[in-house]
Amino acid sequence: MFKAIVSADTLGDALDSVSVLVDECKIRLEEEGLTIRAVDPANVGMVDLTLDAAAFESYETDGGVIGVNLSRLEEFVGMADAGQLVQLELDEETRKLHVQIEGLEGTLALIDPDSIRQEPDLPDLDLPANVVVEGADIARAVKAADMVSDHIALGVDADEELFYVDAEGDTDDVHLELTREDLIDLTAGDARSLFSLDYLQDMNKAIPSDAEVTMELGEEFPVKLHFDIAEGEGSVTFMLAPRIQSD
């Protein structure tokens, strides 16, 4: 059993953070709220989403797992105007999801969860550096790097107490530094890893420009990006595997 009412904006933002990585996913319906974990087909980018029951206007379930086509569900939710509510209800018998928005009723076929890629475990990495930045700064770094390269290095200089971004192209380079003053918070520790820009661009699409994003970084380690959604009643963690640096 699953029946819930939620603002279309809240649900849409939550789904966006998953759909930037995968087309289909399992949604775990738990008493405390929804959770989604997914990894992209190349095993490079992962997402771990929770949307607490408190983020919903109403939320009832006795547990279960459903498989959804994310772009279909997002399209349905996108029919709502700003501020409108979406009602979701699972039809156990037909394995369909009923989506209701102000007189509009959609029925969405679910996907057999067993046919969907297994959910990843996002390992606890205990990384040495911890940086808290505004979402807008990540957007700026990604845009700048994109001018010159397909890769982006994220690092922390522990001595200088600064977070930096490097992108090196064949002829042109870009370098961005954010000092302790520019950052919301910094736990310095030497860190530098190279990442595929494509993935970070996709993740950036789901990060609100005014979000406080906590980045955990290490030396040639994955980066974790963590931010709240639904006014704190939900959260997203992205994890992105590093590229081997050729030099």
* Residue ranges in contact with a second copy by CB under 8 A: 72, 75-76, 79, 103-109, 140, 143-144, 147-148, 171-178, 182
Counting every residue written for the chain, the total comes to 247
Q: Which is nearer to a second copy, 48 or 137 (CB)?
A: 137
CB of 106 to a second copy, least distance (A): 5
Q: Which is nearer to a second copy, 174 or 186 (CB)?
A: 174
Q: Report d(CA 241, CA 151) in Å as an integer.
A: 12
CB of 8 to a second copy, least distance (A): 14
CB of 140 to a second copy, least distance (A): 7
Q: Which is nearer to a second copy, 171 or 246 (CB)?
A: 171
Beta-carbon count within 10 A of 136 CB: 14
Tokens matching residue 197: 């820009």
Residue 23: DSSP 8-state:
S
Paired residues of 60 in beta bridges: 3
Q: How far is CA 60 from CA 57, 110, 139, 183, 210, in A?
A: 10, 19, 37, 40, 31
Q: Which is nearer to a second copy, 127 or 138 (CB)?
A: 138
CB of 69 to a second copy, least distance (A): 9
